[in-house]
Chains A and B, each alone.
Chain A
Amino acid sequence: MPSTQTPPIAGGAIDPPSLRPPIADARIERVDAARLRARLEELHAQGWTMLLDLGAADYPLRAPRFDVVYHLLKLSPAARTVAEVGTPERLRLLCGVEAGDARLPTTTDLWPSANWAEREVFDLFGIVFDGHPDLRRIQMPHTWEGHPLRKDYPLRGPARERSPRPAFALKSNVQAGVPPSGDTLAALQEQRKKS
């Protein structure tokens, strides 16, 4: 079903993680951005050896707008058998980030594996990690503008054209009644001027 715009947020739940049914998948904790660094240092010292994953989610109707999600695992490098590993503890740390100045301290010095994960969150959500040794885009091209996994970033449409296309290529959009915008509009006007 091709659509030119991101569908509206269907369910209308503003803060889904707060409504979750009782699922025993991990211990869940929520921290403020100001306390995040201290809490992570504490957890690292307590033997949470693995930063399983670091991701983010965007809730535009909520303040703070973003959730950065840390999944931690307590796995001992000395566990040599299945019995010794057992069922390691899992912890999910959610940290709200304000939209205006989306910044968090880095964790690359505690868990080196956070390096690429933080780059990805920066690339796709535009959240800056202070103190990261090499904060560059990782998935998108280095010259890309915008952060694709934000909910206000459209899935398709003229505003999403990577490079301005000639007018005929936009015929389907014109038929769909989608007005060109942004760079594409400027490029179209320039093209008309020339011809």
Chain B
Amino acid sequence: MSSLSTQPLTPEIVSREGNSMVLSMGPQHPSTHGVLQLVLEIEGENVVNVDPEIGYLHTGIEKTAENLFWSQAQTVIERMDYLAPESNSLCYVLAAEKLLGITDRIPSRAQVIRVLFAELTRIASHCVWLGTHCIDLGALSVFFYAFDLRENILDLQEEAGGARMHPNYLRIGGCNGDLPEGFLAKLDALIEKFPGRMADLRGLLQANPIFQDRTIGIANLSASDAVAWNVTGPSLRATGVAYDVRRAFPYCGYESYEFDVPTRTDGDAYARFLVRLEEMEQAHRILQQVRKRLDAPGPVMIDDPKVAAPPKETIALSMEALIHHFKIVSEGFRVPPGDVYQSVESPRGELGFYLVSDGGNRPYRVRTRPPSLYNLQAIKAIARGNLIADLVVTIGSLDPVFGEVDR
């Protein structure tokens, strides 16, 4: 197999016809967070053309996942979008459950817990976005307010799953054990603290003339362009298209929760900012409903020894349980052959998995539809004609996570 790649694009400064020149921005530029290079064609301060160069964080997660058991693959998949780990695992778990044909048998309490973590991770992810976006714009204090709130959510993740960043708490068939004692009290405290903290964040930014100057009318994207460039999530809803996977293709019982899908019509960086802030408030609204449903006790894992290991207590008493436990740990479970596409609304947009099973104990193909990849690609349409200084705002407002772009 010969190499089919063409010559690499050299980012040296070359003068072209006219006054335009080629300039490399990143991967060391602070606003690109070390993993994105933009090859810019500029005329003075204006961007004529932009060619993002990605792949700096490519770790072959899809290939790795295809060589692990179904349950092990989840641990690497959770590390794709490292700011919203539970969105990744939720989507993967739902897709695998569809292939197994057990979607209807997942206990309702497990579904409520999944919604809880999906929304917590949405708030946490938007906090990181807001903090770093504002640092890129030169507003440092927002970072501390946002990260303080995120820290409370990481505490909750640690309580439930044992790890702050990648708890791997959701499982195929349910969740890994019930919520620990004391969890609900912490959740209550977070729900109570949230509105005040949101008011702080809004107060710092929403009417701030410097912030408005930097974001209003910058990085414009029209609705038809957004759809053509496959932009989803808050960036799409900031152009006015009310497409939210939670409403269009409900999962985990989202159809039974009351929440709005915030939209704006301006399609600029400020509109994306407002949409994300409103999304955090809607997530808070969902959390309040989740909290009420969590009072009802119940099982959190499917009762099917072919998929879920039996409870630890039964192992000493039942030979069957011991055998099932041993089988699941040593060779995993088998998934019937077939393919499936499942998507969820991650904080960045439609996160999808196209899974293929060949009937074995490892996923045969794990294809991700990473929202960040497509959202970032749209920078080709957005940045043209803008100033170089506004590129920083553009990247920040699209909120790409490179673990997911490069995988």
Q: Which residues of A contact B (CB under 8 A)?
A: 3, 6-7, 9-13, 16-17, 19-21, 23, 25-26, 49-53, 55-58, 69, 71, 75-82, 84-88, 90, 92, 111-113, 115-116, 122-123, 126, 128, 135-149, 155
The residues of B with any CB-CB pair to A shorter than 8 Å are: 1-9, 54-55, 58, 60, 62-64, 67, 98-99, 101, 223-224, 226-230, 239-244, 247-249, 261, 263, 265, 334, 336-342, 350, 352, 354, 356-362, 364-365, 367, 369, 373-374, 377-378, 380-381, 406-407
| A21 pairs with B99, CB closer than 8 A | yes
Cβ contact of B336, chosen from A21, A116, A147, A148, cutoff 8 A: A21
Q: In the complex, what residues of B have CB within 8 A of residue A12's CB? A: 358-360
- Are A13 and B358 also in contact (CB < 8 A) when A19-B338, A20-B339, A126-B4 are? yes
A sample of 9 cross-chain residue pairs with beta-carbon separation below 8 angstroms, ordered by A number, consists of: A12-B359, A16-B338, A52-B350, A53-B367, A77-B226, A112-B380, A113-B229, A145-B1, A149-B62
B228 near A126 with CB under 8 A, answer no
B58 touches A16 (CB 8 A): no
Select B374's contact among A7, A20, A55, A113, beta carbons within 8 Å: A113
Chain B residue contacts of A144, Cβ below 8 A: 3, 5
A16 engages B358 (CB within 8 Å): yes
Q: A10, A56, A90: which has the most chain B beta carbons within 10 Å?
A: A10
Q: Is the CB of A139 within 8 A of B359?
A: no
Structural contact, B98 and A77, CB atoms closer than 8 A:
no
Question: B224 to chain A: closest CB distance in Å?
Answer: 4
**Shortest beta-carbon distance, B307 to chain A, in Å?**
15
* Cβ A20 vs Cβ B340 within 8 A: yes
Name the residue of chain B whose CB is nearest to the CB of A87.
B248
B380 cross-chain contacts in A, Cβ below 8 A: 112
**A7 touching B6 by the CB < 8 A rule?**
no
Query: Is the CB–CB distance between A71 and B227 below 8 Å?
Result: no
- In the bound complex, what is the Cα–Cα distance between A148 and B1 (angstroms)? 12
> B63 to chain A: which residues have CB within 8 Å?
148-149, 155
Q: Is the CB of B242 within 8 A of A80?
A: yes
Contact A25 B1 (CB under 8 A): no
A sample of 20 more A-B contacts (CB under 8 A), given A77-B227, A139-B54, is: A9-B360, A10-B358, A10-B360, A11-B364, A25-B340, A25-B342, A50-B228, A53-B352, A53-B367, A55-B354, A55-B367, A69-B354, A84-B242, A85-B241, A85-B242, A85-B244, A113-B228, A113-B378, A135-B6, A139-B55
Cross-chain contact A19 with B337 (CB below 8 angstroms): yes
Residues of A within 8 A of B249 (CB): 87
A93 to chain B, nearest CB (A): 12
Taking A69-B367, A85-B241, A111-B230 as contacts, is the C-beta distance between A78 and B223 under 8 angstroms?
A: yes
CB-CB under 8 A from B336, the residues of chain A are: 19, 21
Q: B5 to A71, Cβ gap below 8 A?
A: no
Contact of B361 among A10, A50, A113 (CB under 8 A): A10
Contact in complex: A17, B55 (CB < 8 Å): no
CB nearest to B3 among chain A residues: A145
User: How many whole Å from A121's CB to the nearest CB in chain B?
Assistant: 10
Least CB separation from A11: chain B residue: B359
CA distance A50 to B114 in the complex (A): 28
Are B377 and A113 in contact, with the CB atoms below 8 A? yes
**B334: chain A residues within 8 A (beta carbon):** 11
